[in-house]
Amino acid sequence: MEEGRDVAMGQGMGTGQQAPAGPPMRSVVNWALLGLVIERPSYAYELARRFERTYDGAIALSSVSHIYTALANLRERGFIEDVPLEGRGARSKRRYRASGRGFEEHARWLIGSVGEDRCHQRILIVQLGALARYPERAIAVLNSYEQACLAELAAAPAAAEEQGPGVIRLVARLAREETQLRIAAKLAWVQYVRQEFMRLAEEPVRAPARRQALPERATRARRAA
């Protein structure tokens, strides 16, 4: 734990040391792995086991070798570094810790995920707006969306199910609270949107009536001529 704090204070990389410039890192696996290294310096095999245990059901690895590829990418970017070896033993084992740059970029990525969530929600809203002429269909979509939210809420682990080390229990509590608050907000939003579409469904359809009136006016005009 002391190692992690030292690196967070900028001692993980030398003064003025910078990672090679390159395209932004898009891989969720790479970011997730960086989070594990930040939590605790580890060996590659240990990281693979922790990855499967921590992100089970959320992020899948194509194979264990995926971890080694991700670690190589993180090292090239300067996000992680080797822990200095002490003594002569186990030189074939390479242990990794996060660098100061790794902490900084990880924080930027976390903040950026807020924008991605907002973007996904914006897409959902716009697509619902496309159903404005078909309010019954929109309400059916909202009903299914509401059921999916309720199913996610029901699947959230109860407080009594929290097990494992302190960090794992903390993550479980944070995840449970985030799920409850997020789903509660979505359910309130669904109720509001449903009312809006129900109001649309109750409005009289005036457009067809206007279209029918046009031929009648044209006929009267021809007769007058």
The pLDDT averaged over each successive group of 10 residues in the chain (225 residues) is: 41 44 85 95 93 87 91 96 72 84 95 87 94 94 96 79 68 89 96 96 64 52 55
Q: Contact at 8 Å (CB) between 38 and 132?
A: no
CA distances from 44 to 30, 69, 91 (A): 13, 10, 14
Q: What is the pLDDT of residue 56?
A: 83
**Paired strand residues for 23:** none
CA distances from 21 to 12, 29, 74, 81, 84 (A): 19, 20, 13, 17, 25
Measured between alpha carbons, how far is 168 from 164 in angstroms, rounded to an integer?
6
Half-sphere exposure in the Cβ direction for 136 (13 Å, CA)? 1
Q: What is the pLDDT of residue 170?
A: 86
Amino acid found at 161: E
- Report CA dihedral (6, 10, 14, 18) to the nearest 10 degrees: 140
Q: What is the pLDDT of residue 186?
A: 95
Q: What is the pLDDT of residue 205?
A: 59
Closest CA to 80 of 59, 52, 105, 60: 105
CA distances from 184 to 150, 171, 189 (A): 9, 20, 9
